[in-house]
Amino acid sequence: MSEAKDTLLRHLTLLRLIPEYPRYTSSQTLHEKLHDRGYKVELRTVQRDLNRLSAPFSLTNSKKGGRNEWSYTKGTPLDLRDMEPSTALALYLAESHLRTLLPQSALDLLGPQFNKARNYLDNLGQNDLAHWARRVRTHPNGKALLPAQVDSAVWRAVSSALLACRHLQVDYISRSKAEAKTLLIHPAGLVSRQSISYLIGTVDGYDDLRQFALHRIRQAECLDTPARERPDFDIDHYIRQHLNTATPIEQVELVADVSPQIAWLLGETPLSTQQSLEALEGCDWKRLRAWVPDDQETLWWLFGLGESVRVHEPQSWVLAIKGKAARLNALYAQ
């Protein structure tokens, strides 16, 4: 009985050591890791175990450099730990939300876990969580564009280089040029913004941080050489001050009159932590005062409100809105 128990525990440990597709690991590496965990068995025993477990646990192998390398078959929703009901529900709801944020190559990597959560909830039958999963959805505010398509090999190389702090060599097409240029990048961070994901990093030989849209990377390779680290890099500060802008973003006071519907919305979901709404005499509109970033996103939000807002400050935004209104009027007058 003891020998059978040891064999079972060894098999479970071995299955936990095998990576998910598209990563592979060799029989020799698995043997060494088992040895480190106290299982003193021969390499041939490990190889027999892998062959025996391959069919029931959807394992696949390939030859590389004369060695057998092992992985779980693509899309296998295998996790040897029991999934908690609350975890399954969170994954189920996250899938619909992430579908409009992450590139398809990243969603494919999460697919096995999403499948497992969905299957788990489907099998709960009359459990309350199963009913909740059928009745709850996430829905983005505003029009969500489909994510830009990112090659799966590019995603793997970028994420590997970022996690391991390695050089990343890419063929990149900028918006202003039609041909690809080979760059050596020191990765610093990754930002998913609406339908586009950006790699933040520096080009070898330069110090300034730049943004590289993942869908414009045609080829990518994670190199073995270490990248230059930036201990001073703070991704939240970078997003606030530099993302898609050439100059640091300042805070400005927005002063505007807003319609009752917008005032109600801002009363429930404020535009900033420093915001006030005051009633205006003689009408049901309100005077909005709020400190906000002087950026394109806030200005686009104001554009979207149309006739429900009248901006007084800052003057640069007043001029921008007037100019846009004049161009729209000229366009539709044609």
Q: What SS3 string covers 241-278?
A: HCCCCCCCCCEEEEEEEECHHHHHHHHHCCCCCCEEEE
Average pLDDT over residues 273-290: 94
Q: Spell out a b/e string for 216-228, using b for 16 or more CB atoms within 10 Å of the CB, else e.
A: bbeebebeeeebe
Checking if the pLDDT of 297 tops 80, the result is: yes
Please give the structure tokens belonging to residue 170.
């890419």
Predicted TM-score of the model (pTM): 0.58
CA 219, 222, 223, 227 torsion-angle sign:
positive
Would you list the domain boundaries of the chain? 2-72, 85-135, 152-241, 251-333
The domain defined by 2-72 carries CATH number 3.40.50.1820: no
Checking if the pLDDT of 1 tops 50, the result is: no
Residue 124, Cβ neighbours under 10 Å: how many?
15
Q: What share of the chain is helix, strand, coil (3-state, %, to 5)?
A: 45, 25, 30
Predicted confidence at residue 126, as pLDDT, reads 55
Q: CATH top-level class for 152-241?
A: mainly beta
Which range has the top average pLDDT, 169-178, 245-254, 306-315? 306-315
Checking if the pLDDT of 193 tops 80, the result is: no
Predicted confidence at residue 56, as pLDDT, reads 76
Predicted confidence at residue 287, as pLDDT, reads 96
To 5 degrees, how large is the angle CA 252–CA 200–CA 241? Answer: 10
CATH for 251-333 (3.40.50.300, 3.40.50.1110, 2.40.160.20, 3.30.70.120): 3.30.70.120
Please give the structure tokens belonging to residue 88.
């399954």
The tens digit of pLDDT for each residue in 167-183 reads: 999 999 987 767 789 99
The tens digit of pLDDT for each residue in 11-61 reads: 888 888 888 888 889 999 999 989 888 888 999 999 999 988 888 788 888
